[in-house]
């Protein structure tokens, strides 16, 4: 369960399928075999590091069974349907980005109180690193309407969709870890726990003194935050000012 995401989820789903196939081979009724396999997935999901991962681990196997209809009297999906879904997933979320966060949008109004803790001058450049569909940029615009907002997204389709949703922002395709952060007064991330130490190290190495690294939900381990606030849905927002 501590392997690089999404390896833990894939292993759990594979284990659930092994339980289902094994019990069906032993002649167990389909609903009993499915219940046992889903129970294995739910038990493993409790070990997930975040609620998003726990949900993905728990729901992945039953959804795959529902689509396939295997052993449950339903019609199985054609092979080309599975291939199309896999290609669509790789297009939207390429393997290069698997070490980063999946596509989870920033909630509305999540960053509206940021200026109270991290005031920025008009025209300051603010980067949403991994901007996805643009929800983070929209939240940043609510907080800093006078700032020059920028976004970087690795997935081409998501980058295009973000640019359409946020025409007032400069959105580019690229790797957030290779991008130069030195021109930004603030970098905002909604990444994953394993990425945060790397993000703070990059911010300290590249960003000017007084700049801000902002993270929704996930704090940097073994680092003292300069400030923190609660989003309207209760999730924490962590602020780290570059010395």
Per-residue model confidence as pLDDT tens digits over 54-71: 888 888 888 888 777 665
88 within some domain: no
66 within some domain: yes
Query: Residue 88 pLDDT more than 90?
Result: no
The Cα 111–Cα 137 span in angstroms is 10
**pTM for this model (two decimals):** 0.67
Question: Which tens digits make up the pLDDT trace of 103-122?
Answer: 678 998 999 999 999 999 99
The Cα 64–Cα 18 span in angstroms is 13
pLDDT at residue 53, rounded to an integer: 75
Is the bond preceding residue 6 a cis peptide, omega within 30 degrees? yes
pLDDT at residue 190, rounded to an integer: 92
Do 138 and 235 lie in one domain? The reply is: yes
Burial of residue 79 (number of CB atoms within 10 Å: 0-12, 13-18, 19+): exposed
Instruction: Please state the domain count of the chain.
Output: 2
pLDDT at residue 57, rounded to an integer: 84
Question: Which tens digits make up the pLDDT trace of 15-68?
Answer: 999 999 899 889 888 888 889 999 999 998 888 766 777 888 888 888 888 777
pLDDT at residue 82, rounded to an integer: 56
pLDDT at residue 157, rounded to an integer: 84
1 within some domain: no
96 within some domain: no
pLDDT at residue 56, rounded to an integer: 80
pLDDT at residue 31, rounded to an integer: 85
DSSP symbols for 141-188: HHH-TTSEEEEEES-HHHHHHHHHH-TTSEEEES-TTTS--TT-SEEE
Find the domain containing 13 and state its range: 7-77
47 within some domain: yes
CB atoms within 10 A of CB 172: 13
Query: Residue 74 pLDDT more than 50?
Result: no
145 within some domain: yes
Do 127 and 71 lie in one domain? The reply is: no
What percentage of the chain exceeds 90 in pLDDT? 55
Domain end point (choices 55, 77, 99): 77
Domain end point (choices 30, 50, 77): 77
> 143 with 117: CB under 8 angstroms?
no
232 within some domain: yes
The Cα 170–Cα 213 span in angstroms is 19
List all residues 6 or more positions away from 213 whose beta carbon is below 8 Å from its beta carbon.
Answer: 186, 187, 189, 199, 200, 203, 207, 239, 240, 242
Per-residue pLDDT averaged across 213-222, rounded? Answer: 95
147 within some domain: yes
Beta strands 170-173 and 148-153, pairing class: parallel
């Amino acid at each position: 369960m501590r392997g690089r995401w999404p390896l833990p989820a894939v292993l759990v789903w594979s284990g659930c399928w092994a339980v289902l196939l094994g019990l069906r081979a032993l002649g167990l009724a389909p609903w009993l075999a499915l219940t046992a396999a889903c129970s294995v997935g739910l038990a493993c999901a409790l070990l997930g590091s975040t609620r998003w991962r726990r949900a993905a681990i728990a729901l992945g196997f039953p959804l795959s069974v529902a689509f396939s209809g295997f052993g449950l009297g339903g019609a199985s999906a054609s092979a080309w349907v599975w291939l199309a879904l896999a290609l669509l997933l790789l297009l939207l979320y390429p393997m290069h980005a698997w070490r980063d966060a999946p596509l989870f949008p920033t909630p509305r109004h999540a960053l509206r109180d940021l200026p109270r803790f991290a005031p920025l001058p008009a025209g300051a450049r603010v980067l949403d690193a991994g901007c996805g569909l643009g929800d983070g940029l929209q939240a940043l615009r609510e907080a800093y309407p006078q700032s020059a907002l920028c976004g970087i997204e690795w997935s081409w389709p998501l980058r295009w969709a973000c640019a359409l949703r946020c025409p007032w922002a400069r959105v580019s395709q690229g790797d957030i870890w290779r991008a130069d952060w030195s021109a930004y007064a603030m970098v905002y991330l909604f990444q994953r726990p394993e990425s945060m130490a790397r993000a703070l190290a990059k911010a300290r190495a590249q960003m000017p003194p007084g700049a801000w690294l902002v993270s929704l939900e996930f704090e940097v381990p073994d680092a003292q935050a300069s400030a923190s606030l609660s989003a309207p849905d209760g999730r924490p927002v962590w602020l780290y000012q570059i010395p």
